Amino acid sequence: MMDEVISPAQAGTLHGLFLERVRRTPHKVAYRYFAAHAWQTISWQQLQIEVARWQTALRSLALQRGDRVALMLRNCPVWVAFDQAAMSLGLVTVPLYTVDRPDNIAYIINNSAAKVLLFESAEQWQGLATVRKQLQHIMCFVSVNRLPDAAELLLKPMADFLPKTATLLPPASFDADELASIVYTSGTTGKPKGVMLSHANMLSNAHACLDTFAVNGDDLFLSFLPLSHTFERTLDYYLNVMTGATVAFARTIQTLSEDLRVIKPTVLISVPRIFEQIYGVMRARLENGSWLKRRLFHLAVETGWARFEREQGRGSWQPAFLLWPLLQKLIAQPVLDKLGGSLRGAICGGAALSPEVSRVFIGLGLPISQGYGLTEASPVISGNHLADNIPDSVGPPLRGVQVRLGARGELQAKGKNVMLGYWNNTAATHAAIDADGWLHTGDIAHISDTGHIYITGRIKEIIVMSNGEKVPPTDMELAILHDPLFDQVMIFGEGHPYLVALAVLNPEVWTHFARETGISDGMPEALTDSRIEAKILRRIARNLRDFPGYAKVKRVLLLRESWTIENGLLTPTLKLKRNEVTRYYASQIKKLYLGHR
């Protein structure tokens, strides 16, 4: 119920928000998590006891108000307890990605001068050991797990660091506009910058999101994006404290399918990559299925989409609607059951969601609200309301957020959600926020008469070809990904006379495609066979037929290895590191241009 919602005024601070939630619903389940081979629960009151233990332990280190403390954990109640305890003492939390490289972790810890680092495992400790001598500010390392043979004097197992019992002390008195957290951008290029977010930044943003997607205390979230990602932290943590909803922490991305079926969430916070992967599996199966199966699937999507358009007031009744109960039972519901079967909506952000992918899921009956934002905006700037949903857009701006278009069509935003600035980087702060308080997003957009925002590209990602033509690659990549043959695509052509595509193949569809061409898919030379390339270029051209003549792909580099966080080609938020991909395949890209100037 909306009357359960705690307003920013009632909360005061992020820790005040937590205390008010405990006061209102002490015995309600706050979190579900997997431990000791089974799903466990913890209530708000039980969580407060853990916060008190962390508060006492951190106080024992004689930290000063404003000191930074870092945490590098998978999503779990400990993450929340540490964060709340730190904020109760006026400390500033610095979240780290568990999958980040040790050198990047060392940079962030040193740049923020963090004095405490909470981490989880022996594997993480081995990574930290490679940069240990660089971590001069750390007063105490705390490991969730007890590590074997750890000789570090500053290392304490959590079981020894925390007191057995503790009483929660009154929180430090401070203003909501004070710094609460420094969140380092994952950085597709260069060193990450520390985004300074206040209590008011994140409180106001979470509360405004409720206008776009109403959450209540009966909702159950499944959290699988890392809490170090501000999108996840605001919407799957502070929003659930604000509303009293329950959050279940997924075990891993690898077990996500099973966790969805077990937990049966009502709301899902996701990035496009998750929906793209599910859709990729569906496409591959349809490619190898019967004509009838493909026809029924497309009929279900088109009928469901037409029903959605009618509900939105943009379409009329169609006779095909009479078939919907049958199509829902045969096609739509089995797909939704794989997502738990109880979803009443999904919020998607972090990157652009392909219109084709959103059309499929919405057509099958899953309402998807696409939004837009960036860490510097806490992070949401805009979002589609389910009752006013234009999936090709990222919705109108949130309550309290102003937007405008600047030079080159750059989207700019202003509001309580805009960061305080970049940590120890005045020059970058002034470049990002102008004298009037407008945040320069770096994204190119247009705004419709209805106020809906459409993101059309990113200024820094515009490809400038040798003929002077400027190409925004994102739209081209999304168009190419309509083809189930491709799992990942990147367009390249900076300073060159034509464009080339780097394409990671879908294994199942590739096998079928190669055999149809009369080539063994397992042979290394199959990826460079001229017949294969010619056929694939024709497939790419079909998807790019609506683009200008100069925006055509003339060569393609086919790849089997996926771009991942582990191989350094995706950021921890699953965004493509274009510069890293270009460097990784530099020699192969060079061959695509041999003989051309």
Count of Cβ atoms closer than 10 Å to residue 139 Cβ: 14
Alpha helices in 255-381 (DSSP H): 256-263, 272-287, 291-311, 324-327, 333-337, 355-363
- Measured CA to CA, the distance from residue 173 to residue 13 in angstroms comes to 10
Alpha helices in 30-134 (DSSP H): 44-59, 77-88, 102-112, 122-129
Q: What is the DSSP string of 453-512?
A: EEEEEEGGG-EE-TTS-EE-HHHHHHHHTTSTTEEEEEEE-TTSSSEEEEEEEPHHHHHH
pLDDT means per 10 residues, the chain with 597 residues, are 81 97 97 96 98 98 97 98 97 93 92 98 94 94 90 92 95 90 76 94 98 95 94 96 98 93 97 85 85 95 98 96 97 95 94 87 96 96 96 96 95 98 96 96 94 89 79 87 92 91 94 86 85 93 85 93 89 84 94 71
Class of residue 253 by CB neighbours under 10 A (exposed 0-12, middle 13-18, buried 19+) = middle
Q: Between 3.40.50.980, 3.30.160.110, 3.30.2350.10, 3.40.50.2000, what CATH number should domain 2-252 receive?
A: 3.40.50.980
Q: Where are the domains of the chain?
A: 2-252, 270-374+387-410+426-459, 462-592
pLDDT at position 186: 66
The residues that bridge with 490 in the sheet, in sequence order, are 502
Instruction: Find the Cα–Cα–Cα–Cα dihedral 202, 86, 95, 122, rounded to 10°.
Output: -150
Inter-residue contact 31 to 251 (CB < 8 Å): no
pLDDT at position 3: 55
Examine domains 2-252 and 462-592 and report if their fold is the same: no
- Measured CA to CA, the distance from residue 206 to residue 234 in angstroms comes to 6
Q: Return the sign of the alpha-carbon dihedral for residues 152, 155, 157, 160.
A: positive
pLDDT per residue over 168-182, tens digit each? Answer: 998 878 899 999 999
pTM: 0.85
Q: Which residues lie closer than 8 Å to 214 by C-beta, 6 or more apart?
A: 2
Q: Which residues lie closer than 8 Å to 288 by C-beta, 6 or more apart?
A: 508, 512
pLDDT per residue over 98-108, tens digit each? Answer: 988 898 899 99
Structure tokens that stand for 560 in this block? 């089997």
State the CATH class of domain 462-592: alpha beta
pLDDT at position 1: 44
Backbone torsion region of residue 395, taken as left when φ is above 0, otherwise alpha when ψ lies between -120 and 50, otherwise beta = left
pLDDT at position 185: 87
